Structure 1
């Protein structure tokens, strides 16, 4: 409560209903208005081999292996590369309930039939 005056009580609290949350992204930056914070993922722009797997990833760029052209996630198996998403077709989102930044890639290779 902020103050009481005669029979009038004044309360104040923050609510997303009054000031709705906006989420904007540009490249590898995601800004959440209610948090007043920008997540900068651009520092993750380097190719990394995932330990214990055949996956190479580059969160904000393209993997170094040329078997997966423009790929952010690449599986190298039996000398062949399979793209799990194009680094140029990426979206960022924020889920408040889970306190999670989500990164989704599109434009990967089609799934093999079988």
Structure 2
């Protein structure tokens, strides 16, 4: 009989976020991207919106997200990525905000 134990250690925070925190003149149709910070995440909760407590917009396996509608000019947007495992979500998260300005 073989026994396999899953780690209960949460995955590391996502890294290398684009656009960077505080970015301005962001395209109206951006693709937000990040890299796996290690620790074996199986998916990512993506939060995106116009307030610091941005709502959850979905859970996905990939490391990019494109908002479904164009961003509004002169509006600040916030995003957060929470790496997750099948057993336990990561408690430390990547928080970002960006400014979409009329270009």
TM-score, normalization by structure 2: 0.34
Task: State which structure, 1 or 2, has the greater radius of gyration over its C-alpha atoms.
Answer: 1
Bigger relative contact order (CA 8 A; separation at least 6): 2
